[in-house]
Amino acid sequence: MKAIFIVYNQAYNEEIMELLAANGQRGFTRWEDVSGKGGFNGRPHMDNHAWPETNHAILTMVKDDKVEKLLADIKAKDEESPDLGLRAFVWGIETFY
């Protein structure tokens, strides 16, 4: 089991929800109005007058055999519009009940 933390521009919200559903991911936790700045080349999303955009973030638990397909779909979505900002981070889960 893996935890995937997905951070994305709010403009992607509907598409990310559809992507999760298409990959059979029913359960998730979503945070809205998340601010931040990418560590490589992303624009700040600070929800203020200078940087008005904001992010959402999702944490979802994914079975090991479904991780690669979901990550590939996320990467493909990011490559469609790289300036919007979309990142996914994967952690191993030791215990799940």
Q: What is the number of structural domains in the chain?
A: 1
CB 57 within 8 A of CB 5: yes
Q: Is residue 97 part of a domain?
A: no
CB 73 within 8 A of CB 6: no
> Is the pTM here over 0.95, yes or no?
no
Domain of 38, CATH number, reads 3.30.70.120
Strands, E, within 1-97: which ranges?
2-9, 29-34, 55-62, 86-92
Cα–Cα dist 87/89, whole Å: 7
pLDDT digits (tens, 9 = 90+) for 18-55: 999 999 999 999 999 998 887 777 777 787 887 778 99
C-alpha distances in Å from residue 2, one per residue of 46, 59, 73, 90:
29, 10, 16, 6
- Range of the structural domain that residue 26 is part of: 2-92
Q: Is residue 57 part of a domain?
A: yes
